[in-house]
Amino acid sequence: MKLLQRVWDLATSSPDFDKNSCILEVARKQIFVAAKRGNIEFLKILIREYPDLIFQINEKNSSIFQISVKYRHVDIFRLIHEISSVKDLIVPITDEKGNNIFHLAAKLAPLHRLHSVSGVALQMQRELMWFEEVKKLMNPFDAEAENSYRKTPRALFSQEHQKLKDDGEKWMKDTANYCMVVAALITTMVFAAALVVPGGTSDETGTPHFLKKSSFKIFIVSDAISLVLSTCSIGSFLSILTSRYAEEDFLESLPRQLLVGLGTLLLSIAAMMVVFCAAIFILFKDGVAWIPILVAAIGSLPVIFFIIQHVWLLIDVWRSTNGSSSIFKPGKGTLFS
């Protein structure tokens, strides 16, 4: 970047420099390479020195913003918010096949950009985010315009993303089925644990023998929490299985249901672990202290490993659903300051 800045400074300071010079022609060609590769710093250096470069189009009649949408480079696309009303001159530009910027957002992203998001359903969500964000720039007439193949952006999006949508539906259902089995097992175990309390009950009154012990109170509360959370998790996963799986469902509805289901499942597993540990301490009330501690630690290891392995899926879903909503927000003075 320092080398580029130095070369550009030398070129622009030359008395022979003008907008038709060789160096400007080279820069005009290279901005499209930078836009394709997502090199925002390269673009900023050139455009700051010669702002007219932002209006250049390549041999396919595409600007850097059309290219940024085609290759899904958020940082470059956000620059369009910094050129104010001038963007109305850039947005309606159509390429050699009659595609405007909205058509390019409707096309399937390149595989290397698509796979930057984990999970097929989350990839579909990101594609919908791009489609809806670009739609905000369009006037109603251009948003319904047809390309050379007589395809509107909406029709083109459905055609291009049909396989991704089907794969996303399968991924969602497989994940929901797998997690619902785990949630159902937890519900069964903690429900049975509530009926057969550790230490037994009094034959006369039916009151648990260790009702006043702190460990017993922890046992009952944790058991109730685990039962409620696992039941909520089953409900969330059932709603995923019975969803209609329309395109717009992948934008918010399905990811949020998956987020709730995974979150309540992991919390119910953690509560179940507390139930197990509390039960061990109740049963070994008169024994050596290190025995229940060791048994509880060993018994908790599989549960801890399960949570660690699946918490990353929860994080990915949360980032894609909540964190991605801000990625298209315009930056503050990233281009001309």
Contact 135, 88 (CB under 8 A): no
* φ, ψ for residue 165, nearest 5 deg: -65, -45
**Residues in contact with 194: Cβ distance below 8 Å, sequence separation at least 6, in sequence order:** 220, 223, 224, 227
Residue 33 CA to residue 56 CA, distance in Å, equals 13
Q: Count Cβ atoms within 10 A of the Cβ of residue 78 and give its class: 0-12 exposed, 13-18 middle, 19 or more buried.
A: buried
* Residue 208, strand partner residues: 201
* Residue 201, strand partner residues: 208
pLDDT at 23: 62
The closest of 254, 257, 263, 194 to 230, measured between CA atoms, is: 263
Residue 10 CA to residue 8 CA, distance in Å, equals 5
In three-state secondary structure terms, 69 is helix
User: Per the structure block, which two tokens stand in for 117?
Assistant: 């998001």
Residue 62 CA to residue 51 CA, distance in Å, equals 17
Task: Say which CATH architecture domain 2-163 belongs to.
Answer: Alpha Horseshoe (1.25)
The closest of 138, 122, 24 to 80, measured between CA atoms, is: 138
Residue 263 CA to residue 16 CA, distance in Å, equals 65
The closest of 319, 317, 322, 326 to 121, measured between CA atoms, is: 317
Amino acid (1-letter code) at residue 229? L
- Output b/e per residue, 163-197; b: 16+ Cβ within 10 A: ebbeebbebbbebbeebbebbeebbebbeebeeeb
Residue 147 CA to residue 156 CA, distance in Å, equals 9
Residue 236 CA to residue 258 CA, distance in Å, equals 7
Residue 204 CA to residue 197 CA, distance in Å, equals 16
Q: Which residue's structure tokens are 């949408």?
A: 69
**Residues in contact with 282: Cβ distance below 8 Å, sequence separation at least 6, in sequence order:** 198, 199, 210, 213, 215, 216, 219
User: Per the structure block, which two tokens stand in for 144?
Assistant: 């319904």
Residue 33 CA to residue 31 CA, distance in Å, equals 5
Per-residue pLDDT 10s for the chain (337 aa) are 788 777 777 776 766 655 556 666 777 788 899 899 998 888 888 888 777 888 888 888 888 999 999 999 998 888 887 776 677 788 888 888 899 999 999 999 999 899 888 889 999 999 999 999 999 888 888 889 999 999 999 999 999 999 999 999 999 999 999 999 999 999 998 888 877 766 656 556 555 656 667 777 888 889 999 999 999 999 999 999 999 999 999 998 999 999 999 999 999 998 988 888 888 877 776 656 677 778 778 877 877 887 788 788 888 888 888 766 677 776 655 666 6
**Residues in contact with 328: Cβ distance below 8 Å, sequence separation at least 6, in sequence order:** 74, 77, 78, 129, 133
Contact 81, 46 (CB under 8 A): no
pTM (predicted TM-score): 0.83
pLDDT at 287: 59
pLDDT at 60: 87
